[in-house]
Structure 1
Amino acid sequence: MDFVRNSESEKVIQDSQTPEVWIGLRFLAGEWLWVNGMPLSEQLQACPPAGMHCGTMSKTGIVLPMRNCEERRNFLCIKK
């Protein structure tokens, strides 16, 4: 997965109030993409289960691409 890890983002994830945080990974129009428009370096499941169209990262650092987008979680946002 091409999610950028650094000490600042890892601290934000560890300090979150949820066990996982939204990271901006989304399944739209038949493909997984980063909401910031960056290309995905590897392909994920082509057709995830209904409603499981968003990606998270857990406090253990595992990227979990198939989550229900309506679940309440903290967000990891990056300033440009």
Structure 2
Amino acid sequence: MTDLTQWATLVAEELGLDAQAATDPAIKELLDLTREVAHNVTRPAGPITTFLIGLAVGQAGGNNDMVKALVEKINALVPQEQ
């Protein structure tokens, strides 16, 4: 288990979430989006974007499928390197 997985599992448990959510494949997609936003928009926009996706999913009572859908939607907004 990686340090990231251990950390995410610990945080998920502390927040009362299913610890399995910390290892869902959607995590990799969120990390990839965060990297793209940080590099192609501005560095602080990366974690803010991830936070906003999480907030939207939580408010809608969504799940990891919704995370994936929102990642795709927001990824389309990210300017591509030229």
Common fold: TM-score over 0.5: no
Going by fraction, where is helix more abundant, 1 or 2?
2
Higher RCO (Cα < 8 Å, 6 or more apart): 1
Going by fraction, where is strand more abundant, 1 or 2?
1
Q: TM-score, normalised by structure 2?
A: 0.27
Q: TM-score, normalised by structure 1?
A: 0.28
